[in-house]
């Protein structure tokens, strides 16, 4: 990525309006909302002069290397914060204790599946009860069905819809996680 000589303020303004619309969407998480608010604050402070005088806004190299292993998704628990990369691997920046220390890898594929059939969009944070996982010995632990039925589901769904979605998610697990 190369630094730019001049910022397209009209395009940036349209993108800012899109971010404002996303913030008003009730389907995003509190964590996502905080991240978007931070971006909006940066956009409010941005000028051509600020861009060129602050090297953190741009790079002079031809390419940017992104290490996917450090893009974190965080999950909260009374035993700490579990941070995983996009492959579900637990990152060293996690602050965890007790049973969370036994998690080897979170089942990100199943969690994506559950979000899609639940019409919840994408995820980047949540509760540790939301997902299934493999422990460090490779043993798979399913997500908690009661948690999904009682707490972790699309709040706009009826009880019948919720039961159907949770049942479908566990059928997927039975088929794909033997």
pLDDT digits (tens, 9 = 90+) for 143-154: 999 988 888 776
Q: Is residue 149 part of a domain?
A: yes
Is 88 found in the same domain as 156? Answer: yes
- pTM for the full predicted model: 0.58
Is 53 found in the same domain as 80? Answer: no
CA angle 134, 138, 143 (to 5 degrees): 25
Strand-pairing partners, residue 125, are 74
106, 86 Cβ separation under 8 angstroms: no
The total of structural domains in the chain comes to 2
Is 154 found in the same domain as 79? Answer: yes
Is 82 found in the same domain as 51? Answer: no
Q: Is residue 3 part of a domain?
A: no
102, 135 Cβ separation under 8 angstroms: yes
- Note down the domain range covering 158: 68-176
Q: For residues 48 and 11, what is the distance between their CA atoms, to the nearest angstrom? A: 14
Confidence (pLDDT) at 70: 43
Confidence (pLDDT) at 21: 63
Contacts of 152 (CB under 8 A, 6+ apart): 126, 127, 129, 130
Is 72 found in the same domain as 33? Answer: no
Is 75 found in the same domain as 141? Answer: yes
Is 126 found in the same domain as 80? Answer: yes
For 102, the token pair is 């036994």
Is 74 found in the same domain as 45? Answer: no
Is 169 found in the same domain as 148? Answer: yes
Q: Is residue 89 part of a domain?
A: yes
Is 74 found in the same domain as 44? Answer: no
Q: Please, what's the b/e burial string for 152-169 (b: 16 or more CB within 10 A of its CB; e: otherwise)?
A: bbeeeeeeeebeebbeeb
Backbone φ and ψ for 32, nearest 5 degrees, come out as -65, -40
Q: Is residue 4 part of a domain?
A: no
For 31, the token pair is 């964590």
Is 47 found in the same domain as 89? Answer: no
| Residue ranges, the chain, pLDDT below 70 | 1-29, 31-32, 35, 43-72, 123-124, 154
Cβ-in-10-Å burial (0-12, 13-18, 19+) of 74 comes to: middle
Q: Is residue 135 part of a domain?
A: yes
Q: Is residue 128 part of a domain?
A: yes
Give kind and range of the element (H or E) at residue 81: strand 80-84
Confidence (pLDDT) at 140: 96
Confidence (pLDDT) at 81: 87
| Radius of gyration for the chain, computed over Cα atoms and rounded to the nearest angstrom | 20
Q: Is residue 145 part of a domain?
A: yes
Confidence (pLDDT) at 64: 36
Other Cβ atoms closer than 10 A to 64: 8
Confidence (pLDDT) at 128: 80
Is 131 found in the same domain as 73? Answer: yes
């Amino acid at each position: 990525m190369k630094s730019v000589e001049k910022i397209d303020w009209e395009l940036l303004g349209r993108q800012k309006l899109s971010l404002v619309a996303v913030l008003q969407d009730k389907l995003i998480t509190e964590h996502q909302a905080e991240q978007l608010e931070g971006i909006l604050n940066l956009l409010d402070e941005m000028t051509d002069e600020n861009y060129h005088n602050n090297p953190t806004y741009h790079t002079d190299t031809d390419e940017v290397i992104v290490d996917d292993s450090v893009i974190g998704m965080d999950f909260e628990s009374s035993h700490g914060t579990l941070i995983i990369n996009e492959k579900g691997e637990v990152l060293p920046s996690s602050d965890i204790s007790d049973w969370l220390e036994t998690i080897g890898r979170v089942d990100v594929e199943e969690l994506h599946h559950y979000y899609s059939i639940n019409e919840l969009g994408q995820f980047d944070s949540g509760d540790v009860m939301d997902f299934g996982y493999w422990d460090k010995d490779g043993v798979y632990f399913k997500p908690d069905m009661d948690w999904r039925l009682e707490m972790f589901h699309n709040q706009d769904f009826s009880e019948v819809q919720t039961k159907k979605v949770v049942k479908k998610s566990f059928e997927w697990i039975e088929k794909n996680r033997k």
